Structure 1
Amino acid sequence: MLDKPHYAGHRKRLRDRFLKSGSSALPDYEMLELVLFMAQPRGDVKPVAKSLLKQFGSYAGVITAEEKELKKIAGLGDVAVAALKII
């Protein structure tokens, strides 16, 4: 039997943790991952979330950033920017 990769089910675990305990149970990069999951249904969004935090400093800094500044982040397209700005 093959073992599943460590990241298998990551999105569900993260979503469940958020629903059970709220945003205070998650670091900023995981909150950003939750938003980015909706914009990018497949693939690893953690590097993009961490790039956003490096550039803008916090979850609040990301969601209040200007659209043109968000679009400068590699891997962040129009759908992801819209998801971040909807909040």
Structure 2
Amino acid sequence: MPDERIEKAAIAVFAAQTNWAEPNPTQKTVKALWDGQMDAVRDSFRRLAKAALDSQEDQPADLDGLHENTPTCSTSCAKPKRSVK
């Protein structure tokens, strides 16, 4: 699990970018929706949060080391070739 600062910042970014039914969701509501997200979704917010936190410390964003086991796009992400008949 990422460090606590990254996790808190990621949840804050997630909450800010979510279109909530109610204008001011409780922390419990935000946490419940966060916990229900797929790992890939949470990881994307963690990368954003880490980059923002690193920028405040005048450090380059180390996005490679954040989640070493995160799958990368390979040929499976590419558009399938259309067959012409």
The reply to whether TM is greater than 0.5 is: no
Q: Which has the greater radius of gyration? A: 2
Task: Report the TM-score, using the length of structure 2 for normalisation.
Answer: 0.31
Whichever structure has more helix as a proportion of its residues is: 1
- Larger relative contact order, structure 1 or 2 (CA cutoff 8 Å, min sep 6): 2
